[in-house]
Amino acid sequence: MLPLHVHKSDWRSYDQIVHHYDRVWAARFQPAAQAMAGMMPAGCQPRALLDIGTGTGIIPAIFSETFKTLQNIAGCDISLGMLQRAKARLANLRAVAADAAALPFKSDTFDLVTAGFVLSHLREYRRALNDVHRVLKGAGLIAASNWTSTVDDYSQAWSGCLAEAISKPEAERALNEVAPLENYFSQEGNLEAAFTESGFSVIHAGAVDLRFELTVEQFVEDRELNSGGRLGRHLLGNDAWMKFREEAINTLRSRFGETIHYSRRAGVVIGQKSAASV
Ligand SMILES: C[S@@+](CC[C@H](N)C(=O)[O-])C[C@H]1O[C@@H](n2cnc3c(N)ncnc32)[C@H](O)[C@@H]1O
C-alpha cells in the first residue's frame, strides 16, 4: 500500500466524514455522475475504467450500470475509509489506495478515466492529468466535473456564522488546504484549459443544474461536511461545535424560515487523448 499523505485522523481527510458522505451528499453526487455518463459520446463502449478520487464509488457504480461493456473497473483515492465504502457499493471495483498525481498503473491501460469533483483537490492537477494521459489508451476519454461558482444567501449566511466561530482567515484556510483549486476550477473555461494543456482535445463541455429543498438542519448538515465545517469541528472540539451548530441553525431559521431552496450547478467536461499521441 502506498504511503498516503493525508492521515486518517487529519481534519482534511475524507475519512472524517465517511459515515455521513452518502447519507448527506449522494443526493447531489449521484445526479452529477448520471449527467456525466449521459454526456459521454454516442457509441462509447469502454471496457476499462479508472475513477480517480473515487470517494464512495458513486461514479463507478453508475458507469457500470450505464456501460455494460465495462469489465475492468478501478477506483483510486487517498482515503482508505472512502475506498472501503466504494468497495461495499460495487463488489467488482478494484479499490486502489493511491494519489491521483502518481497513478500506480501501466501506460495504455484504460479506455476511460473519470474525475468527479476531485481535480479541485489536487495542487498537482497538471501532474495528475499528465498521468491520466499516460494510463489512457490512444483515443481514450477523460471526463471531469467541478462545481461552478455560486454566491447564494444561504451559503453566505453559513459562511458568516462559521467566520464568527473560527475567524474568516481560518475558514479560508480550510478550503485552501482541502480543495485549493476549487475557486479556479469553478471559473468557466478552466477545466477545458487544463485538459488542453495536458494534451487532450475537448469534445464536450456541459453543465447540470441540481435543485434541492432542504430543511435548515439538513442544509447545516450538508455544509458541516465541507472543509470549513471539518476544520471548525477540529478547532472547536465536538461540544463547542455542537453548540455553534445549534446557534447557526437558529440564525438561518430566523432569516430564511424552515425550508432552504438550494441550487448548485456542476460543469462537466469530456476530453479525448488523440490516437496520434500514443
Ligand atoms: C468531493 S469527493 C468526490 C468523490 C467522488 N468522485 C464523487 O463524485 O462522489 C473528493 C474525493 O477525492 C479524494 N482525494 C482528494 N485528494 C486526492 C488525491 N490527491 N488523490 C486521490 N484522491 C484524492 C478524497 O479523499 C475524496 O474521496
* Model confidence pLDDT, tens digit, residues 155-209: 999 999 999 999 999 988 988 889 999 999 999 999 999 999 999 999 999 999 9
Atom of ligand 1 nearest to the CA of 26: 9
Cα separation, 161 vs 37, in Å, equals 37
In a domain, 103, yes or no: yes
- List the one residue out of 233, 236, 212, 211 whose CA is nearest residue 224: 233
pLDDT-based confidence at residue 16 (cuts at 50, 70, 90): confident
Query: Is pLDDT at 259 greater than 50 in this prediction?
Result: yes
Q: Which residues lie below 8 Å from residue 272, measured CB to CB, with a gap of 6+?
A: 139, 140, 141, 142, 200, 201, 203
* Count of domains forming the chain: 1
pLDDT of 278 reads 40
Q: Hunting for cell 469553478 — which residue is that? A: 186
Which one of 63, 77, 85 would you pick to mutate in the ligand 1 pocket, going by the greatest count of ligand atoms within 8 A of its CB?
A: 77
Q: Which residue has the higher pLDDT, 9 or 39?
A: 39
Examine residue 168 and state whether it is found in any structural domain, yes or no.
no
Ligand 1 pocket test, candidate residues 17, 50, 76, 121, most atoms within 8 A of CB: 121
In this structure, is residue 117 part of a structural domain? Answer: yes
Q: What is the pLDDT of residues 24-75, one digit of tens each?
A: 999 999 999 999 999 999 999 999 999 999 999 999 999 999 999 999 999 9
Tell me, what CATH number does 67's domain have? 3.40.50.150
Residue 125 domain boundaries: 14-149+180-211+264-277
The pTM of the whole model exceeds 0.85:
yes
